Amino acid sequence: MSIFSYQHFPVYAIMVLFLGAFLIAAIGRKAPVRHCLAVLASGASLAFMIALIQPVMLGGEIIAYWMGNRVPAGGYAIGIALEVDALGLFFGLVVTLALFASVIYSIRYMAHDDNQEQYYILLLVLIGGVLGLILSGDMFNMYIMVEIMTISAVALTAFRHKVFGALEAAFKYMVVGGIGSTCILAGVIILYAQAHTLNFAQLAALIPGNLNTATKVAFALLFIGFSTKAFIVPFHPLAADAHGAAPASISLLISGVLTKSGVYGLIRLTYVLFQTMNLGTMQFWLVFIGSVSMFVCVTMALAQHDFKRLLAFHSISQIGYVLSAVGLCTAMGISSGLYHAMNHTLFKGLLFLAAGAVLHETGTTDLDKLGGLSKKMPHTTVLFLIGAASISGIPPFNGFASKWMVYQATYMKAVESGNIGFLLVTIIALVTSTLTLASFVKVTQSVFFGQLPKEYENVKEVPFGMRLAMGILALLCVLTGLFPGLVTTYLTEPATRAVFNAGGYINAMMGSGYAESVMGANAPAAQAVNFAEVGVWSPISWLCILMIALLAICIVALSSKYDRVSENQGAKVEGKYDLFFGGERSVYSQVGGDDLFWGFKHNWRHYFGFMHELHSGVVNDYALWAVVALALALLYAMIVL
């Protein structure tokens, strides 16, 4: 095997990131060298991932890579292994893309911070950890990568440690994240004690047929461990604190990458390792947690008055969509869930970067203080609006395409299984989408429109480098929305097939026929998957029609009196171009921030009061929630598995 063979690419993709980190530590004292190294490392990693699309996504190959060529002997897999199937590659692509955007953005965004070498080192190590976790083929390496990821994420959260609350957020993250990592370690230990192997593929062959109390405990521990990494309810308050304090480029990664690693872990755990998803109770578990995350976090977001905290809660809300869709255990469900996971990285990254741009220029993200920035930062405003439209699911942006598939998947599941509960998920998802829109209208009004406060009169547009990173993500938001067919064909459908192909995953690693010999008749065969949709939607033709209609209307409008706009030419007419305030002084009339949706919140005041009390901000409470969640998960696993 030549060293340029694509078989080596997975390990190269991880290696370049760590190598980049070490090189920055060694020779990255000067800013240009440091930036070059960071861009090169992240770009190379992304390139390796893209190069793997051809064999893995299209060719359907599953790459099993044994470090030092220590292949399994005597039926036991001892060596360190990487295994890349379409599912892993899908998440790998998302992760490396997010890293690339984050690095480009960081160059200008972090230009005035101290200790930048440490920042880039941690950044690359963080993503190296995530990529390692996703591509790893054995549980112990996965656990190590989880630890690398968590520790560097904690350090990056507190990177701007002089910002109020940063250290506190990092501490909370460390405590609850530590509980999660410990759960994963305990789960790994139990599995090793039971099956005497740590290899994913071998475990996937040995465990499902021999479930006992110990393995059920391990399942619950791993489940909770990955849930903390995905920040789903009840671990969502951590995300809000961490996002609020971290630099925007790190918020992008925490929301776009770390949560994805948790989702990846949950999919791998439930579909491949334990193969429990054909149980209705397991589907219920995932869909229930997903729906609760979706709804609770969107309502929490409505109550926020900090730009980044609001985005943080939306992030978890969108992960709720992903989890609900993945939990359906239908081809359509998984395909739409993965699609939404990818879109979530794109639009949420874009929104966080826009929030970072606002912070960069004005020094605050408080919605009650900002306003009227659209005149000062027109490009950022347009890019933000693309992101906001995407996350709210406005056609033809990507959020709509994936959410629409999620609705279809949940409703079809309801019809197929005859269970009216899944219908409730469709309705919750649709209402959540509207509430998401509401909260982005709030942000738009409070930050970019409305009146410009006096102290921000000298605000300028952000540097080109930052706009470039946002532009890349915005372009991808539009493209993945306009060409949903390409995304599903080349990315999500192969990944979905991989999810349903636990047998292939085992055999690729352990040699063909292994699954059948160990599991006998129960060996999971690659299932036939059906991607039929019930609805019809072609974004391109819709966009064409809209454009023609808009053009026609514009021509009619401009040829009539629409353009007879009188501009402000000096102070010819007193007060003609001023806003109408009805006698109030303008300083008292600013509407925006937290109180914008009074009519909605008034009716829900008891719910919001309850939520407010629940989210105390005390880390003891959150640790307690984690323990309670673990207890419930253990109980549930004991009963249903």
Partner 1 sequence: MSLVMDAIKYLVYILVFPGFLFCFLSGLLLCGIDRKIVARMQKRVGPPVLQPFYDFFKLCGKETIVPAAASRTTFLLAPLVGLAALVVIQLFIPVFNFSAFSGVADIIVILYLLLIPALSIIMGGAASGSPYAGVGLSREMVTIISVELPLVLVLLAVGKVVGNAMGTGLCFSLTQIVAWQAEHGSLIATPSMIVAAIAMLMVIPGETGNHPFDAAEAETEICEGMLAEYSGAPLGVYKLSHAVKMLTMTSLFVALFLGGIGGGIDRMLLSWGLTGGAAGVIAVLIGIVVLFVLCAIITIISISLIHAATARLRIEQIFKYYWTVVTGLAVISLVLAWYGM
Site for partner 1 in 511-570 (CB under 8 A): 534-538, 541-542, 545-546, 548-550, 552-554, 557, 560-562, 564-568
Q: Judged by CB under 8 A, how many residues of this single chain contact partner 1?
A: 79
**Shortest distance (Å) from residue 127 CB to partner 1:** 34
367-396 residues in contact with partner 1 (CB under 8 A) are 372, 374-375, 378, 381, 393-395
Sole binder of partner 1 in the list 464, 600, 607, 610 (CB under 8 A) = 600
**Shortest distance (Å) from residue 429 CB to partner 1:** 10
What's the first-to-final CA gap in the chain, in angstroms? 43
**Which DSSP letter does residue 73 get?**
B
CB closer to partner 1 out of 182 and 444: 444
Is residue 596 part of the contact set for partner 1 (CB under 8 A)?
yes
Say if residue 234 is preceded by a cis peptide, omega within 30 of 0: yes
Q: Is 383 helix (H, G, I), strand (E, B) or coil?
A: helix
Is residue 31 part of the contact set for partner 1 (CB under 8 A)?
no
Is residue 333 part of the contact set for partner 1 (CB under 8 A)?
no
Is residue 607 part of the contact set for partner 1 (CB under 8 A)?
no
Sole binder of partner 1 in the list 486, 525, 591, 632 (CB under 8 A) = 591
Give backbone dihedrals phi and psi of 604, rounded to 5 degrees, phi first: -105, 20
Place of tokens 């998920």: 425
CB closer to partner 1 out of 76 and 581: 581
The residues, ordered by sequence, that sit 6+ positions from 82 with a Cβ below 8 Å of its Cβ are 10, 11, 14, 63, 64, 65, 67, 135, 136, 137
d(CA 322, CA 534): 20
Give the count of beta carbons closer than 10 Å to the beta carbon of residue 117: 18
CB closer to partner 1 out of 377 and 510: 377
CB closer to partner 1 out of 566 and 620: 566
| DSSP state letters, 456-469 | GTT--PPPHHHHHH
CB closer to partner 1 out of 214 and 587: 587
CB closer to partner 1 out of 290 and 592: 592
Please, is 440 exposed, middle or buried when counting C-beta atoms within 10 Å of its C-beta (0-12, 13-18, 19+)?
A: buried
| DSSP state letters, 543-555 | HHHHHHHHHHHHH
**Shortest distance (Å) from residue 503 CB to partner 1:** 30
Is residue 635 part of the contact set for partner 1 (CB under 8 A)?
no
Is residue 585 part of the contact set for partner 1 (CB under 8 A)?
no
CB closer to partner 1 out of 517 and 586: 586
d(CA 168, CA 99): 25
Span interacting with partner 1, options 52-60, 203-211, 304-312, 589-597, rule CB under 8 A: 589-597
CB closer to partner 1 out of 41 and 296: 296
Amino acid letter, 368: D
d(CA 580, CA 41): 55
Pair of tokens at residue 538: 């072609």
124-143 residues in contact with partner 1 (CB under 8 A) are none
Give the count of beta carbons closer than 10 Å to the beta carbon of residue 489: 14
**Shortest distance (Å) from residue 396 CB to partner 1:** 10
Is residue 574 part of the contact set for partner 1 (CB under 8 A)?
no
Give buried/exposed letters for 375-405 (b at 16+ CB in 10 A, else e): ebbeebbbbbbbbbbbbbbbebbbbbbbbbb
Place of tokens 């083929």: 137
Q: Is 449 helix (H, G, I), strand (E, B) or coil?
A: coil
**Shortest distance (Å) from residue 566 CB to partner 1:** 5
CB closer to partner 1 out of 173 and 339: 339
CB closer to partner 1 out of 51 and 437: 437
Is residue 602 part of the contact set for partner 1 (CB under 8 A)?
yes
d(CA 66, CA 7): 10
Give backbone dihedrals phi and psi of 79, rounded to 5 degrees, phi first: -70, 170
d(CA 387, CA 482): 15
d(CA 260, CA 200): 19
Sole binder of partner 1 in the list 582, 606, 620, 639 (CB under 8 A) = 582
**Shortest distance (Å) from residue 365 CB to partner 1:** 19
52-111 residues in contact with partner 1 (CB under 8 A) are none
d(CA 129, CA 91): 13
**Shortest distance (Å) from residue 242 CB to partner 1:** 29
394-453 residues in contact with partner 1 (CB under 8 A) are 394-395, 400, 404, 407-408, 411-412, 415-416, 420, 423, 426-427, 430-431, 434-435, 437-438, 441-442, 444-445, 448-452
